[in-house]
Structure 1
Amino acid sequence: MCALLVTPAAQQEQDRELRVRSLSVSEYQWFLAAHREASFLQYPSWAEVKDQWRSERVGWHLPSGEMAGAALVLYRQFPGTRKYFAYLPEGPVADWSDPHIDRWLDPLLRHLRASGAFAVRIGPTPVYRRWEAAAVKAATGPGRQLADLLASEVDPLGAAVADRLRSRGWTRCGGESDGDAQPRHVFRVPLAGRTREELFAGLNQEWRRNIRKAAKAGVETVLGGAADLPEFYRLLRITEERDGFRLGRTLGYYEQQYAALNAEQPGRMRLYLAKYQGEILAAHTMIVAGNRVWYQTGASADHRREVRPSNALQWRMMCDAHAMGAHEYDMRGVPSTLDPDDRSFGLLRWKLGTGGHVAETLGEWEHPMPGTANHALYRAFQAYLARR
């Protein structure tokens, strides 16, 4: 393949610093329509979900006026001040392969500082490492962690971006349990270029058996609606109690999320139900944006688990994502433990059965704005979050 010839004028355009300005909703949506790998957390509707945060859409522009990148910025006011913590969840949508990272970060920091931000957190999108499901399963053992396992793939771009951020004073947040707001380790099932039969063959034997068992028992998988959210939430509380976690969300939160995402585009957020003999035994939510699909939250009853409603739901959701032309099915967060005796390992074990891979993202990175007062506010804000 011939190399692309870059003229001196074009190279000069690429090397010049970008300009950041606010965008209208229509401008921002136009950009996302052309960049279909963006996270759903970067869509305008997510600002409607996070209604305790002020929001702004910004774009990076070349001197020619062409838009090169964009981001949804959420601003959280620090109590008792007119200063804000700025947050770009799984963003910005930018060219992370550009070695001239300063021309992206410097104008962003200037814009946010002018908007009253005392610090910013970003979520760079490149992946750092990947582990295939079979390798992870083979490496489980007492006290073991993902970090102990040699990665199936290390993305040089991810490592380069981390080095560039670190050398410019950005700090990686504390980790999946005490720092990042979004999961650092996620589980993804590739869909592009695979047939439905190949997807099913990629499931492990237990998953295939459970899906067949659910079908034989007569488990029905259907799309629910807003009226079914209270039942989803009831099952979620049962799941939290059984599995020892607490998401801390109210029914109102899920109702608002469902309304906001589907107002932006019908079908953006879907509620799937598994019914058995007329009773809803499991309910899972799925989000669709661009070329990607995410399994967000799952809930199930304590009884009749032998008919495998959750396996049936996941297979239905995976097939629907494939039929939509999605490139991947993202099952969101997994723990970093490989110890079967850890309570949280069960979630990883369940997702491993789909035959995808664990991806370690770069995590989230923070940077205080210049100035003694901003650094002091940043430290106070960190202490405030720790107390919460």
Structure 2
Amino acid sequence: MRTISRAEHLAFVAGRRSASPMQLPSWGELKSQWRSESIGWIDESGAVVGAGLVLYRQLPLLKRYLAYLPEGPVIDWFDPELDRRWLRPMLAHLKAQGAFSVKMGPQVVLRRWEAATVKDAIAGGTARRLRDVEADWHEPQRFELVDGLRRAGWLRSEEGETGFGDVQPRYTFQVPLAGRSLDDIQRGFNQLWRRNIKKAERSGVEVVQGGYEDLAVFHRLYEVTAERDRFTPRPLAYFQRMWTALTAEDPNRMRLYIAYLDGEPLAATTMLAVGEHVWYSYGASADHKREVKPSNAIQWRMMRDAYALGASVYDLRGISDTLVPGDHLAGLLRFKVGTGGQAVEHLGEWDFPLNRLLHEALGRYLKRRR
């Protein structure tokens, strides 16, 4: 295990069907408040067989760091000797770098629920959480993997445990594209989605692909969305840095889409692509003319473009697992279920306290800030 170069890191990712954008060197450039490092696992021949992007956040007044691997690392999670061959060397390396605690978010899928299953669960009202609904697919080794992490001293980052809580979503919604035609993908949408797409077309909504200079248009809509949904927006400069860093790595790594009606922007989104995996990243929309359904139109355009790029999956990113009627997060789930895809549970984020005193102190501090 050692620090690897940017070129080594990108060469390894290029050989993978999927890796999170947050596990690329460019993501470290975006997170300017963190120090970043590419780490690699090297086999006997000298080849990189695993890689991760580590973000280091320094404690005030101390040269000690929280080491975070967002949606990573990218390794063989089902190796029978996962702890000895992969995780212990990583912990030793990070401790030598001054880390007092490690947080990682493996992109291992544990369970999948088909859209019809989720829809029936919402309509039935018998389950309040997706996790309580019988899944359509289970990872056969999920229990062994979770138990192995716990035995090795890792703590799942959930409320009520020592961990700091998940930063990236544990549940996401994905639309499979591989082996399907575009007509088949659209036939998988529910009637409301298909009707909304047609309504946008009849109304004259035009979805165009933008460039760096159009990020300001996106950001104005994003600020409107932030005020409506009551969250603190990121500054325009953040998205400009993201565009510069990611597109320098690959021109198709980040795309921008804007939905116009009669020259007026009504919705805008960003899309990220790595290998055969495409993600819907950020979305924004105006408060008015929502009846012409620009958000449905823009999602369908992104799915078609993801398909053209050869993607095997279109990822609508995070969902809550709540099924409680009236909860606004359940409304977001219903919107994504309309695409006919799958709800997905990942392994989630895990913490390893290298210095338990500092780890617990930071955990208490972060909980007070919530």
Q: TM-score, normalised by structure 1?
A: 0.90
Counting only pairs closer than 5 Å after superposition, residues 264-343 of structure 1 correspond to structure 2 as: 264-343=249-328
Equivalence for 2:138: 154
**Offset from partner CA, 1:321-367 (integer Å, 9 cap, x none):** 00110010011001111122112222111111000011010100010
**Greater displacement, 281-290 / 340-349:** 340-349
Comparing 325-334 with 256-265, greater Cα deviation is found at: 256-265
Identity of aligned residues (%): 54
Following the alignment from structure 1 to structure 2, what is the Cα–Cα distance between the partners of residues 27 and 319? 32
Q: CA deviation at 1:67?
A: 2.1
Distance 2:233 2:291 in 1: 29
Q: For structure 1, which segment, 195-204 or 336-345, has the greater mean C-alpha deviation from structure 2 after superposition?
A: 336-345
2:27 alignment partner, one of 43, 46, 52: 46
Alignment of 1:340-359 (within 5 A): 340-359=325-344
* Aligned residue in 2 for 1:108: 90
Shift of 1:162: 1.2
The CA distance in 2 between the partners of 1:64 and 1:260, in whole Å, is 32
Find the aligned partners of 2:340 and 2:232 in 1 and give their Cα distance. 26
Q: CA RMSD in A?
A: 1.7
CA separation in 2, counterparts of 1:240 and 1:194?
Answer: 36
Q: Structure 1: 5+ residue runs without aligned partners?
A: 1-19
Partner Cα separation in structure 1 for residue 110 and residue 349 of structure 2 = 12
| Structure-2 separation of matches of 1:240 and 1:133 | 28
SS of aligned partner of 1:182: coil
Structure 2: how far apart are the matches of 1:320 and 1:64?
39
Partner Cα distance (2:364, 2:220) in 1: 34
Contact kept in structure 2, 1:142 and 1:340, CA below 8 Å: no
User: Please, what TM-score do these two structures have when normalized by structure 2?
Assistant: 0.95
Give the aligned length: 364
Q: Indicate the residue corresponding to 1:99 in structure 2.
A: 80
Alignment of structure 1 residues 1-388 onto 2, 5 Å: 20-102=1-83, 103-140=85-122, 141=125, 144-174=128-158, 179-242=165-228, 244-246=229-231, 248-369=233-354, 374-388=355-369
Separation in structure 1 between the aligned mates of residue 230 and residue 113 of structure 2, nearest angstrom: 25
Contiguous gaps of at least 5 residues in structure 2? none
Q: What SS class does the counterpart of residue 344 from structure 1 fall into?
A: helix
Runs in 1 of length 4+ with deviation above 4 angstroms? Answer: none
Distance 1:142 1:159, change over 3 A: closer
Distance 1:275 1:154 in 2: 42
CA deviation digits over 1:359-388, x for unaligned, max 9?
01010001011xxxx211111221232233
Matched position secondary structure for 1:139: helix
Q: Distance in 1 between matches of 2:114 and 2:227?
A: 31
